[in-house]
Structure formats: structure tokens, C-alpha cells
Structure 1
């Protein structure tokens, strides 16, 4: 088994399932290159069963010979796999429902059929590709006994990795940790956790899976994906390094540019408070915080912003306070008496309310100059 946790990006597959998102070949190539150059471990690049256009696009990505393993997503259907083989791709992910809910009410089949169909597809794929991921759809609602049976069969058939999918995003970290430990104990195959963010716990659940012994995590840039999205690459990568003290091969300084690239390709703005890549996440406005970082960055520093290509900054708002304004004026060589300072602070507060945003240094200096 691999010791370092693998980051398996599915922006070009599950990310493209987000409403209104469709990448053209130039965008797919640009994103794939950026992620590969940053050091991502694996790219899931599409679904060949969608048709000739998708097969052609994936074939062109494969022809780039990027320094990363490329895989495609497939249902446990032989025709899906046949389409994947046409792309020249290195590996395939074969996904099959494992919860009784989906086996009975989506497939209209039973557990025996699932095991048989899974086996046929794995044996077929082993003749054509060098790497096989078995995806267990809706595994978070599956019976534990049946999951154990699936794992045993997959190991016997020589699968390279098994993906446990929390397809509906219903799990929480404690359940992930205690439930998945049992799977790790019985699996001789590396396990991957595929989190969805329906309840806002995709990153936390991904970390819990690693703590339980999982060796790979499924992620997307910015958390892009079906419904509420997937576990965000940037959050998971930084949390692995600074919360779990895990080795991360990915160049974290590239996260911001990759996030912006995907934002532009999808026409989706990055929320200002988005962890890691949001515009405001290293900006301090409260006078208490500003005073604290001036004395020692560690007072209000979760991790070094320089590690992700960012830096601390300050802005001015309702809670900036007198000390922050005076510090700026002193740095600029400007002195006012007490009454003028009180008047200045009131003007700054009014402007903050008017603009509905924190003020930058140039905004403050404009108010100061007008008061001179």
C-alpha cells in the first residue's frame, strides 16, 4: 500500500456534473496540465460512454502524456468499458451501486447480480488497462456485510483500489472514522473516500477517512460537482498538511491560480470567504486581530499564507477601531488632533456602510486627504 495519501482529482468528471458546467477541450487540457504540473496524483477525465465527442476529447488528453495517471468513469456495463478502451487511457473506474436502496430501486436487481456484473466488468478491464478502481456508489447507505463481501471479491479479482462513495453526503466525521476503520481492517486493497458536500462536511469527512486508514481521497477544484459539490482540493490538501501533518506532493502555491482558472472556465465566482482561495481569507479587519498580527503573526495565523502563495493584508471596517486608523496615519506622517480623529472615524464608518465592504488603504487615505 502507498504510504502517502493520494489526491485523486475528478474536476473534469464529477466537477463537470455541476449544473451549467461544460468544459471544452482547451479548458480540459488547460486544467489537466495545471493539475499535473502542480503534482496531483490522478485525474479522472470524463465518461467515454457519453459518445464520440467525449471519446475524442479524452483521447486527446491521453495523447498529451501528462506525468499523472488518467482514468475514466464507467458504469459496470461492458459497453461503457469498450468506449473507454478506445481512448487509450491508462485506467478505468468501474462504478456500481452497493446500497439496497439503489440496487432494488434504481437497478431493479439484487445483490447477486451486482457481484456477478462487477466480476464480469473487472475481468474484462484487466485485459485492456493497467489500473482499475472499483467505485462503490452509495456505500454510506450499504449493508456492512455486503460491503465486506464486495471487498473480498474485488481483492480476489485483483482490483487496484476501491472507492467508497458517500454519494448523498450524509455522513459525519465520527461515523466516517469509526465505520471506515472496520473496512480498512478487512481490505487488502487501498481504499479511497469520495465525499459529497450536501451537509457541508466533505472536507471533514475526508480527513476522518484518512485518520481511519484510507489511502486516497477524491477531490475537485473549488469543490465543484453534483448538487452541493465534492470535497475541495484546496481545503483537503492544506488540511492534510497543516491539520494531519501528512506529506503532500501537491504544490500548494499553485492552488490559487488553479482555483481562478476553474472559476473562469465555469463562470462561477470564488466566494470571498472561500477557505484557502477566497479573496478575504487572509484579510484582517478587527483592530484586535490587526494589533495581534502586528505583534506576532501566530496570534491569528492558521497556517502561513505564503505556503499557498498568499499574504496577510488589512482592511478597515466597523470594528477596525481608533488604533488601526492612527497606525496608518502615523505611517503616512499625518497627525490630527483628537476632535479631527473622531470626525475622521465617523466618516470612515459611514463610507463602510455606504459601500457595504471593508475599506482598503487607498480608500482611507482618500478620506484623510479630504479632511486635511
Structure 2
């Protein structure tokens, strides 16, 4: 991979396009503050053309731009929309344009000549006003390869700073996505951005494939929220790239769990406990074998310590627990267990777990033990 990879968060734009999600001005401000606090320096903040409270929020972010903080306003391929954002003072703009025949015909009802002309005109206008200009190749998967190369060459020649390669409906495999990045790199020396949706659960894998093929930027959202099945998750991407690929993204991983909880509350959608990196069960241990190993060496059943991502380790009493975990739980509650009572106590805890279909609380474990001891 390159040594200058840049993470850009789009929770406030693509993320809020999650069906049923709607962020207030104050919620969007909290999310923006949380991302900046975590070290994210490129953020897509919204769609000014929506007007209303969306426009109010987007306008409020303009003054927070500086040489290290790049706030991106998103636009359709409409000149007036782009001009209004430039008039507001945005220094970084993105223009969303479809490149597949499917989307040109069904979405915007235009042809390739319109696309090329519009892209060149808008890029040239924005560059003349000193902006950093990003432009899309939307529906990358269904864009014919030869035309994709022609388009990449055209937007580069017009002065675009970046080309976003959007797997809009999430149908590409990592092999296919990486090959598309290589194809575009052959056509034009323009920085590329990965934008990968997660319809088949391949968002992160496709992003990594794109970065390995030479892309510089990539898109994420908190909790992987977004249209349909969402897109690449910031926690999974940041932890994977920083811990497994030694890529320094400048992200404070300890902030990831807090960000996840913030957006979970904002969307009214609880994460599954097995959500990678930030889920409640990522550092939870119930199995007797696992607990025994953890008591001796926490690295035995954890890939990294919980405090690295702002998480917490916990031990769970249930159907699969063993005597060591029962003894530990009782001791943590201030009870010194008699060895001969551990097996019957464990048996009752297992039966209770099956009865309730889940975790037995430490308080209930103490009650079971005290009853047996009496």
C-alpha cells in the first residue's frame, strides 16, 4: 500500500442516507466533533442543496476548515449547487456523477456525452475558484472498462484532484474492485478513492483490495451505516489497517467504541453484540476453556486488548462456563467458594442459563451458591 493513505468519513452524508435515519443539527454536530476528536481530518458533511436544517448545519461547518481539516460538501452534477457551496466558502467539494449506462439511463436520464461535458465544465469552474475537486464514477461495477478509462482521463485533464470509485450497489468482489483500480491507474495519474458498499459483506475487503491496488483515499461510516446494507465501517477499517497492515491513519483507536455508541443512539439501532471491534461481545468470554486461558494470558483469546479501542473485557456466566469462571465470579462478589460446591453450583448455573436462554448474572450466581452452602 501507499504510505500516504487518507481515511474520509461520510457518516454525515452517506451514513445519514440509511433508510429511516434522520440526524438533527445538534446530533450532526456531536458526530462531527467526535470524529474530529478521534483524528479524522477528511469528512463529508452533507448535501447543501437539501436546504432547511441540513443547509444550516453544513453552513456551520465552513469556519471549521483549516489546512488540516477538510470538510467536503456533496453535490449532484448541477452547476448552481456547486457554485452555492463555493460561495459559502467550501474549499473541498464533491460532484456525484454516474458512469454506467444503467444509471445514466435510469437515474439521470442522460448519455455519456452529457456526462463528459458536465464533468469537465463543473471541474473547470470549481478549480478556477481554487477548490479541491473530487468527482465520482458511480456504479463502477457496471461501467464498461474502456469508457471508465476515458472518463478518468477526461476528469484528470479537466483538473480534478480525485476520482471516487463507487461500487454503488455493492456487487464487486475484492479481485474485481482491485482490478478496476488498476485499470483506472493505467489511464490517468489521478488520486483514487474507494467507496464500497456492503451488500455482500465485502465492503472492507474491497476497500483493502483497492488500497493495495494503489488507491490513496477511502470512505467509511461509523457502524458501517448507509444505504441498504451500509458500507465500510470506520472501526473495522481503522483497526485492520493500523493493527494488521501497519498503516498510520492518524486515528485514535480508543475513541472508536464511543463513536459507535453515539451513532447507535442517534439512529435508534442497537448494534449486534458480535459487531467487530466495538460490539459488546468482542471482549466477552463464557467458555470454560477460553476463561481458563484468559486468566493466565489475556492474549490467548483476544486479538488486541479492549482498552486499545475504548472497549471493556467481561466474563459471562452461562451454559458453557467452567468451574474456574464460577470461582472467579464468586470471588469478585466477595464470596470465597468451597471447592466441593463448585461443581453443583456450576450445574445449576448451566441449567439456569438454558432456562432463561442467556447469561446468568453474578448476583444470581451468588444466590445459587449461598443456597447450596446452606
Q: TM-score, normalised by structure 2?
A: 0.92
Superposition deviation, residue 360 in structure 1: 4.2
Deviation at 1:65, TM superposition (A): 4.3
Give the secondary-structure state (helix, strand or coil) at the position aligned to 2:56.
Answer: helix
Any conservation in 1 of the 2:163–2:193 contact (CA below 8 Å)? yes
Match of 2:39 in 1: 39
Aligned to 2:109: 108
State the match for 1:219 in structure 2.
Answer: 220
Q: Distance in 1 between matches of 2:229 and 2:161?
A: 29
Match of 1:63, SS? helix
Match of 1:162, SS state, is: strand
Residue 324 of structure 1 and its aligned partner are, at CA, apart by 2.9
| Structure 2 Cα separation of the partners of residues 141 and 303 of structure 1 | 39
CA positional deviation for 1:306: 2.2
Residue 22 (structure 1) aligns with = 22
Q: Deviations over 1:251-300 (max 9, x none)?
A: 11001111111112222212211111111111111111112222322322
Any idea what the Cα deviations from partners look like across 1:155-192, whole Å, max 9, x if unmatched? 11111111100000001222223332232343311111
Give the conservation status (yes or no) of the 8 Å contact 1:99–1:141. Answer: yes
What is the 5 A alignment of 1:1-372? 3-65=3-65, 68-329=69-330, 332-337=335-340, 340-372=341-373
Please say if residues 55 and 83 of structure 1, whose CA atoms lie closer than 8 Å, have aligned partners that are also in contact: no
Which 10-residue stretch deviates more, 209-218 or 54-63? 54-63
Q: Relative to 1, partners in 2 of residues 1:336 and 1:143: Cα closer, same or farther, differing over 3 Å?
A: same
Aligned counterparts of 1:318 and 1:232: Cα–Cα separation in 2: 32
Q: How far apart in 2 are the matches of 1:20 and 1:185?
A: 40
- Contact 1:329–1:335 at 8 Å: present in 2 too? no
Distance apart, 1:207 and its partner CA = 1.4
Seen in structure 2, the aligned counterparts of structure 1 residues 362 and 187 have a Cα distance that, compared at 3 Å, is farther
In the alignment, the residues of structure 1 paired with residue 49 and residue 202 of structure 2 have an alpha-carbon distance, to the nearest angstrom, of: 31
Structure 1: state its 5+ residue gaps.
none
The 1-side partners of 2:370 and 2:62 are apart by 59
After TM superposition, give the deviation of residue 2 of structure 1 in Å: 7.3
TM-score by length of 1: 0.93
Partners of 2:104 and 2:315 lie apart in 1 by: 54
Give how far 1:326 is off.
Answer: 4.1
Deviation at 1:229, TM superposition (A): 0.8
Aligned residues: 370
Structure 2, unpaired ranges of 5+ = none
1:203-248 deviation per Cα after TM superposition (whole angstroms, max 9, x unaligned) = 1211111111111110100011111111111111001112222112
Is the contact between residue 35 and residue 259 of structure 2 (CA under 8 Å) also seen in structure 1? Answer: yes
Instruction: Give the CA deviation at 1:33.
Output: 1.2
Asked if the contact 1:55–1:86 (Cα under 8 Å) also holds between the matched residues in 2, the reply is no
Cα distance in 2, alignment partners of residues 63 and 297 from structure 1: 45
SS at match of 1:96: coil
Note the aligned Cα RMSD (angstroms).
2.1
